[in-house]
Structure 1
Amino acid sequence: MIVDIRQWKHVFKLDPDRELSDQALDQICMSGTDGILVGGSTGVTFDNTVDLLARIRQYEVPCVLEVSNQEAIVPGFDLFLIPVVMNSSDPKWIVGQHHAALKEYGAILNWDEILAEGYIILNEDSTAARVTSANTHLESKDVTAYARMADKLFRMPIVYIEYSGQYGNMELVRRTKETLEQARLFYGGGIDSLDKAREAALAADTIVVGNIIYSDLESALQTVNIDRTGR
């Protein structure tokens, strides 16, 4: 399947380490979302990723893996997104794990299926921030500088502002989007209602809805009903 992320406005993010019934998965995959993003901060393994992929592949929805560790790299996804945590204080999350993966698999990778994403993690209480040693105490100029670095210096096709469970500052998201010239701005964090989905969709290019799936599926499904015209 040919996947063009430039057309995405809404995606659901599913965590292989969390339980999801077949009925719930059916509703998600048939919801009209633009894609399914598979990934998580902890507990992601080859086995649970393979299992989730096999279940999603019963549907025609695009399915993308966000690679959180090289042990969980599973073939068969439409795209593979490689996070580079721009505001990490640990080089492992900027180049370290990437180097290790390329040392092992670099000669056999299909680079047409791989996209780098410049992550900016802003919720200090999130698992993602703790795991990656992210410096979340950033001013607006810090965030836009990281975004420009990903967009213009490193030519990454995706900049991802991640609040991970907390609804973020949409004015900051909007200003960050305005600084980008080539990259697409993804936003994830705290989108648990249609109103928040619509607000976030106006601030970012693509919204990512995740945690609410596991606590209030009906509200999660409502988030698909955003204005996709860009107005």
Structure 2
Amino acid sequence: MYREWQHAFKMDPAKDISDEAIETLCDSGTDAIIIGGSQDITLDGVLDMLSRVRRYSVPCVLEVSTLESITPGFDGYLIPSVLNSTSSEWIVGLHRRALEQYGGLMDWDELLLEGYCILNPDCTAAKLTKADTSLTESEVESIAMMAGQLWKMPVFYLEYSGMFGDVNVLKTVKNALRHSETRLFYGGGIRTPEQAEQVAQYADTVIVGNICHEDPELALQTVQAVKQCKNN
């Protein structure tokens, strides 16, 4: 189903959000709700947000950041591999341990591997995963080609996490993936419909995160902006 996503909201289970805001966002026409975050992610928090989103028909997936937060009940599970991490732990290490623990129980059709490239040096995700955020545009391009052409990953996720990214880099990544089946996800710093539309020109899926918690009504406007851009 991820191949049909044009827009998704990412809700952080460690951050506050009202039931009214969740209803508005889930009924907005977005293609999916992603539950995930980088810090203070607990099973209780994930379960609470899952139960609140599950009242609505929109697909709901978990982006796995800790083994302790994995729980049944989601439509799918996004498995990040941080390709610009300087530690193998965040590329393959955690994944191997997850398979040791859960491999025999997994429904492989529910899992989606994401090749992440995190480029905001100040964000929690970059610090946690020891990401090399000093990459040149050509280096990011080579990582995208590695994900799409060499490793045939289903998703390449360009992540600026709280900072609006360089659209020229996004355009370069889109071009690098043009001969692959890899979908391009973009997330980071989208706070206006204009920014969402700008990103939607290149990203296959636009992911809107922090503003869901800060200003749900403004977040709502990004859905129409992305859909109009994609359908014109």
TM-score category of the 2 structures, normalised to the smaller one: over 0.9
CA contact (8 A) 2:196 2:206 kept: yes
State the partner residue of 2:83: 86
State the partner residue of 2:203: 204
| Matches of 1:101 and 1:230, distance apart in 2 | 39
Could you list the per-position Cα deviations for residues 141-161 of structure 1 after superposition, in whole angstroms to 9, with x for gaps in the alignment? Answer: 111111111112221100000
Could you list the per-position Cα deviations for residues 20-40 of structure 1 after superposition, in whole angstroms to 9, with x for gaps in the alignment? Answer: 111111101011101000100
Taking structure 1 as reference, are residues 148 and 230 closer, same or farther at Cα in structure 2, changes over 3 Å only?
A: farther
User: What are the equivalent positions in structure 2 for 1:136-175 lying under 5 Å apart?
Assistant: 136-175=133-172
| Matches of 1:54 and 1:151, distance apart in 2 | 35
Alpha-carbon deviation of 1:230?
A: 5.1
TM-score normalised to structure 1 length: 0.96
More displaced stretch, 65-74 vs 144-153? 144-153
CA contact (8 A) 1:116 1:156 kept: yes
Question: Does residue 27 in structure 1 map to residue 27 in structure 2?
Answer: no
User: What are the equivalent positions in structure 2 for 1:184-199 lying under 5 Å apart?
Assistant: 184-199=183-198
Percent of residue pairs bearing the same amino acid type = 49
Give the AA of the match of 1:96: G
Taking structure 1 as reference, are residues 230 and 139 closer, same or farther at Cα in structure 2, changes over 3 Å only?
A: farther
Alpha-carbon deviation of 1:90?
A: 1.0
Q: How big is the alpha-carbon RMSD for the aligned residues of Structure 1 and Structure 2? A: 1.0
Aligned to 1:155, what secondary structure does the other structure show? coil
User: What are the equivalent positions in structure 2 for 1:69-84 lying under 5 Å apart?
Assistant: 69-84=66-81
Alpha-carbon deviation of 1:19?
A: 1.1
State the partner residue of 1:6: 3
| Matches of 2:231 and 2:136, distance apart in 1 | 27
State the partner residue of 2:93: 96
State the partner residue of 1:182: 181
User: What are the equivalent positions in structure 2 for 1:47-58 lying under 5 Å apart?
Assistant: 47-58=44-55
Return the match for 2:118 from 97, 118, 121: 121
| Matches of 1:203 and 1:170, distance apart in 2 | 9
CA contact (8 A) 1:9 1:228 kept: no
CA contact (8 A) 1:171 1:203 kept: no
Question: Does residue 18 in structure 1 map to residue 15 in structure 2?
Answer: yes
Return the match for 2:107 from 100, 107, 110: 110
More displaced stretch, 29-38 vs 150-159? 150-159
CA contact (8 A) 1:10 1:207 kept: yes
| Matches of 2:198 and 2:112, distance apart in 1 | 27
CA contact (8 A) 1:159 1:186 kept: yes
CA contact (8 A) 2:144 2:176 kept: yes
Unpaired segments ≥5 residues, structure 2: none
TM-score normalised to structure 2 length: 0.96
Question: Does residue 229 in structure 1 map to residue 226 in structure 2?
Answer: no
Unpaired segments ≥5 residues, structure 1: none
| Matches of 1:165 and 1:195, distance apart in 2 | 16
Aligned to 1:61, what secondary structure does the other structure show? coil
Alpha-carbon deviation of 1:229?
A: 3.3
State the partner residue of 1:215: 214
